[in-house]
Amino acid sequence: MNDLFMESLALQRIELMARLVASSECSNDDKEVAISWLSELTSDLVTSLNEYRVGQDESTH
C-alpha cells in the first residue's frame, strides 16, 4: 500500500525551495533555474499522484 510518504516529502521540499527562492537575494538567472527545477519536481509529483489515483480507482472496481 502506497501511503504517499515520498510524495509528502517531495511536496515539503518543493515548498521549502519556493520559499527560499522567493526570499533570497540570488540572481535572476539562479531564480530562473530554481523555478525550472521546481516545475520539474511538481510535474513529477503530479504524475506520481495521478498514478496513485488510478491505482486506487482500479482497486475499488
Q: Assess contact for 12 and 41: CB atoms under 8 A.
A: no
Q: Please give the distance of CA 12 from its chain centroid, rounded to a whole number.
A: 8
CA–CA gap between residue 11 and residue 4 (Å, rounded): 10
Nearest to 6 by CA among 38, 49, 35, 50: 49
Q: Which of 43-47, 49-53, 56-60 has the highest mean pLDDT?
A: 43-47
pLDDT tens-digit series, residues 1-13: 457 898 999 999 9
pLDDT of 61 reads 65
Domain interval for residue 51: 5-60
pLDDT tens-digit series, residues 26-35: 899 999 999 9
Q: Assess contact for 41 and 21: CB atoms under 8 A.
A: no
pLDDT of 55 reads 80
Report the domain count for the chain.
1
Percentage of the chain modeled with pLDDT above 70: 95
